[in-house]
Amino acid sequence: MQPKQDHLNVELGERRYPIVIEEGSLGSMDLSPWVAGEQVLIVSNETVAPLYLEQARASFPGSRVDEVILPDGERYKTWETLNRIFDVLIDKQHTRRTTLVALGGGVIGDITGFAAATWQRGVDFIQIPTTLLAQVDASVGGKTGINHPQGKNMIGAFHQPRIVVADPLTLGSLPPTEMAAGMAEVIKYGLIRDEHFLSWLEEHMDHLMAMQPEPLKEAIRRSCECKAAIVAEDEREAGVRALLNLGHTFGHAIETHTGYSDWLHGEAVAAGMMMATDLSERLGYLNYNDSVRVRQLLIRARLPVNPPEGMSPVHFRALMQVDKKNVSGRVRLVLLRALGDAFVTEDFDPEAFEATLNHFCH
């Protein structure tokens, strides 16, 4: 039986694809219509496979389904792990008509997508994201890739999935810190382009953190809508897609400073969004009450609103200078003209920037 579906589409011409957001879709939804050949390879990891692999297999009744279970963690988003996927594809004689299926969080999604982009010069793939971050962010937009020892996401390709199937019920097993980290990106969408959604989040944050299915589904849907609209407008990040980096330049500095260990990406982004909000207030775009609203919402989502102890303005300046999104050596920031209205600039008052750094670093 096909469950009642909440459909939205990523509008990319010939590569247009649906995102299905429905509790219970994993296991009950027949994904055969999105499989071109007879072969399917499900890629998952040691944590997610015991929870959801059987259900995922049931979604491909007419196919020969193989699987590869990778070790869990960002540190395995590497060339060596990628090769394990290729080893299985070769071993099981998968052809150009195979379909790869990513079952897991953003790490599995990125590495599987990249395997699909490069196996036999590109084959179909399906995203079944199982973290909030992957459901609202990583699975939408077609960026795939792996890390190099010298830098995150350094090797990759744009490759769009055939379909994304997000089942909010899978979030029930997610550790609370991972849930909060995903919520940072949800809040980001409200802040960058949807004041109504931001108000809705203020109304429903407690329900969301209590994992109530209906509000959760709505939050995922509106987040995907927002990312899908931005991606449709700017698939290759030539313009508006940069707005998705709100809080990320400050956040990357935090992640690099802490060695990508203690802080989850979403946590660093939350503190980063608070810093971007503060700077936007200092520059006269936001008022005090706006900043209070952002702070309250992040706190209710159990997210940090300050950078880690011991991080100084010197650290921030040095780390932000080398951000890969910078153009011609100038720090590029996403700021807020108002809540729900972000813009990108390299041209901001350096004194206000200093004041923000000093305000947050003790």
Instruction: Return residues touching ligand NAD (CB under 6 A).
Output: 45, 47-48, 51, 72, 74, 77, 104-108, 110, 130-131, 133-134, 137-138, 141, 143, 153, 170, 173-174, 178
Q: Choose the catalytic residue: 159, 162, 222, 227.
A: 227
Residue 248 annotated to the active site: yes
Q: What is the closest distance, in whole angstroms, from the C-beta atom of residue 59 to ligand NAD in the complex?
A: 16
Q: Which is nearer to ligand NAD, 50 or 62 (CB)?
A: 50
Instruction: Report how far Cα 62 is from the mean position of its chain's Cα atoms.
Output: 31
Residue 143 annotated to the active site: yes
Burial per residue of 297-336, b for 16 or more beta-carbon CB atoms within 10 angstroms, e otherwise: bbebbbbbbebbeebebebbeebbeebeeeeeeebbbbbb
Residue 241 annotated to the active site: yes
Token reading at 358: 């000093």
Which amino acid appears at position 238 of this protein? A
Token reading at 315: 């650290």
DSSP 3-state of 168:
helix
Q: Choose the catalytic residue: 22, 23, 178, 185.
A: 185
Q: Choose the catalytic residue: 77, 143, 193, 282.
A: 143
Residue 302 annotated to the active site: no
Q: Which is nearer to ligand NAD, 75 or 97 (CB)?
A: 75
Burial per residue of 131-146, b for 16 or more beta-carbon CB atoms within 10 angstroms, e otherwise: bbbbbbbbbbbbbbbb
Q: What is the closest distance, in whole angstroms, from the C-beta atom of residue 91 to ligand NAD in the complex?
A: 24
Residue 75 annotated to the active site: no
Q: Are 362 and 352 in contact (CB under 8 A)?
A: no
Residue 229's Cβ-count burial label (10 Å; 0-12, 13-18, 19+) is middle
Residue 4 annotated to the active site: no
Residue 193 annotated to the active site: no
Q: Choose the catalytic residue: 237, 306, 326, 359.
A: 237
Q: What is the closest distance, in whole angstroms, from the C-beta atom of residue 138 to ligand NAD in the complex?
A: 4
Q: Which is nearer to ligand NAD, 153 or 326 (CB)?
A: 153
Q: Which is nearer to ligand NAD, 178 or 218 (CB)?
A: 178
Q: Which is nearer to ligand NAD, 137 or 218 (CB)?
A: 137
Q: Where are the alpha helices (DSSP H) in the chain?
A: 25-28, 49-58, 79-91, 106-118, 132-133, 176-193, 195-209, 213-233, 248-257, 265-282, 288-300, 313-321, 350-360
Q: Choose the catalytic residue: 77, 252, 293, 332.
A: 252
Q: What is the closest distance, in whole angstroms, from the C-beta atom of residue 48 to ligand NAD in the complex?
A: 5
Q: How far apart are CA 101 and CA 308, in angstroms?
A: 37
Q: How far apart are CA 125 and CA 117, in angstroms?
A: 9
Token reading at 220: 């995922």
Token reading at 157: 């390709």
Residue 324 annotated to the active site: no
Q: What is the closest distance, in whole angstroms, from the C-beta atom of residue 31 to ligand NAD in the complex?
A: 18
Q: What is the closest distance, in whole angstroms, from the C-beta atom of residue 23 to ligand NAD in the complex?
A: 13
Element (H, E) at 17: strand 17-21
Residue 204 annotated to the active site: no
Q: What is the closest distance, in whole angstroms, from the C-beta atom of residue 64 to ligand NAD in the complex?
A: 25
Measured from each CB, the residue nearest to ligand NAD is: 106
Q: Choose the catalytic residue: 94, 159, 188, 265.
A: 265
Residue 265 annotated to the active site: yes
Q: Which is nearer to ligand NAD, 62 or 151 (CB)?
A: 151
Residue whose C-alpha is closest to residue 8's, from 213, 163, 119, 116? 163
Q: Which is nearer to ligand NAD, 256 or 291 (CB)?
A: 256
Q: Choose the catalytic residue: 121, 309, 324, 351.
A: 121
Catalytically active residues are 121, 143, 185, 227, 237, 241, 245, 248, 252, 265
